[in-house]
Amino acid sequence: MVLIPIFRQRIYPPDYLVGKYKIIKLLGEGRFGICYLVHAHARTYIFKQIKPRIMKKYKDKIIFEQQILSNIDYPLIPKIIDVINTDNIYGYILEYKKGSTLEQRIFGDNHQFKSFEIYTIASKLIKIIKYLHKKNIVHRDIRLPNVIVNQNDVYLIDFGLARPIDNEKYVYCEDFSYLGHLLIHLYYSSFKKTSRKSRPWYNELGLSSEELNFLKKLLGLNDVYKNIFNLEEDFLKLKITQL
């Protein structure tokens, strides 16, 4: 079976076998890896293949993802099921979570997120972050393409940049900043511009003072949250009609 070259990287076609896992389709390609939907034993999984050149150059850093995922057991984070490690293929078999990424919902489906949806997503992500921080892990990449939503279910994926917290290079507040930027993206999905003049988000989104303070603290503009517990406490004070 012939492999399809894309950007000098071999892409496995449907029905190709990677160990016992049959490729269903390509899901996406990033800088470090390629994700496929795969099938084995009447179940569907995700196969995340690390690109050979990345594996060769960043082997020690890549191993972090496997180690971190192996120590995580949380329903809103896909579990690592298996590791593929042959002479020319290295990657993970991950639990498949049904749904669409926030990136797909906004830019593909043109979905405009309502206040209660933003509140639900924020609530679930805060719970995930709290779990990770208790495990001494910082995700460092909480962005639109790495959050999957399926009705009221919210999942955080892609732990390629996740690291153990050392309070020096890898700190808690990295996740807070990412969360703040993500929420602002969700607000803008339903924003209607009424002026040609560009203004900062905190002036044009029409947010309450409580919301502004919360988001600015996430981004480190108004002080900064020291830990996830203080962050969660402030979040729970926000009214669902506001957020």
The residues assigned a catalytic role are 141
Rg (CA), the chain: 20
Residue 56 annotated in ligand binding? yes
Binding residue ranges: 56
Binding residue ranges for ATP: 56
